[in-house]
Each structure stands twice: as structure tokens, then as C-alpha cells.
Amino acid sequence: MYNQKSTLLFMSLLISAVLISCIQQEIRFTETVPAITPTTTIVKGQITLFSNFDPNHEHGFTREGLVNPSNTKAFFDFDKGEITATDNADIYLDVSCGTDCFNSMIEINGAKAARFGEVEPKYDGCRAVLVDENNLPASVVPGKYSCLQTNDGNIVQILIISDEALSQNANITFEYTVWYLNP
């Protein structure tokens, strides 16, 4: 009888020790797993946007007043990866002409853009530059990178391929990578 109680007590302690050991290993395993990145889908593409220039516009209007919604080729929605209407777009191409013409890539509908530079920023670089409140506007210089947070919260890396600032038919060609955070 004494042996049965000892054996039962020993078995209970052994089972408890094994269970505690498993729980501790599970906790240790969970702590050593690297953080899961929030990105689930990465999409790459290249697109050419044509300007939203209206040679008949009057100076002094707000930027929103100069947007020509019928020129859908000037608007791009990175969340859908398509040229789109003004109310869905993240950016539009705007050209201004004085003695020279220059293109601007303007973020709209709550999107936020920032200049990065000549080195590819990737996801982490874009996240860092987008939280800086003192960043410069998106670049339209060939060979330069910019970053954008879309109006749906996704992160985009943009590389300008070509920039043709003309009074009519101005265009920008760029490559982009989108990290979709909420597929």
C-alpha cells in the first residue's frame, strides 16, 4: 500500500513536471519566434501617367480646383493598381509651366508621400520616411525613389523612370512596389 501511494505520488509529480516543462518550452519558443511582418502581399508594376495640365486655367485657383476629373490618365490608385477616377486615386500628375515646365506627383484623398533618394528604401525605409513630419514632397526626378502611404494604409515604394514635363502631353513613368497590409 505504501508502494502504491509512493508510486502514485511519484507519477503525479512526474506528470506535473512534464506539463510544466512543456509549458515553459512553449513560452520560450514563442519568445524566440521573429516578429511577423504585417505585409502579406507584395505587388510590383510600372505605369505612365499623363498630365492634368489645362492651358486655359486661371492662376490663383486652389490645387483642387485645377484638377480635371475627366482626365483619368492623370490619376493612379496603388491599392487597386490602376489608373482610376479622382475619388479613388492616391496620386495625380500635375504639370506647371512658366518659363519652364515641371511635373509634380501630388498625393490626394488622404494619401501621404515623401521623397527618399537614390537608394532603394524597401518597406522599412518607406515606413521610416513616412512618419517624419519634415519630409520633402515626392520626387519626380528619374532614378530617385519616393514612398507613399495609400489612402487605404498600404505602403508603396516608387522609382521614377522618366519625367517629360511639357506644356501638353506631359508624363511620368514610374515603377512601384506595394506592400498590402490589409489584403
Verify that 78 and 11 share a domain, yes or no. Answer: no
Of residues 113 and 86, more confidence is placed in: 113
SS3 116: strand
Verify that 97 and 138 share a domain, yes or no. Answer: yes
Verify that 4 and 69 share a domain, yes or no. Answer: no
Verify that 18 and 76 share a domain, yes or no. Answer: no
Verify that 109 and 175 share a domain, yes or no. Answer: yes
Mean pLDDT of the chain: 74
Verify that 7 and 26 share a domain, yes or no. Answer: yes
Distance, CA of 91 to CA of 74 (rounded, Å): 8
Checking if the pLDDT of 14 tops 60, the result is no
Verify that 95 and 147 share a domain, yes or no. Answer: yes
pLDDT recorded at residue 19: 46
Name the residue among 171, 146, 175 with its Cα closest to residue 161: 175
Checking if the pLDDT of 54 tops 80, the result is no
Mean pLDDT, residues 94-99 taken together: 78
Assigned C-alpha cell, 162? 522618366
> What pLDDT band is residue 75 in, cutting at 50, 70 and 90?
confident
> Which domain does 128 fall in, by range?
41-180
Verify that 148 and 131 share a domain, yes or no. Answer: yes
Of residues 178 and 171, more confidence is placed in: 178
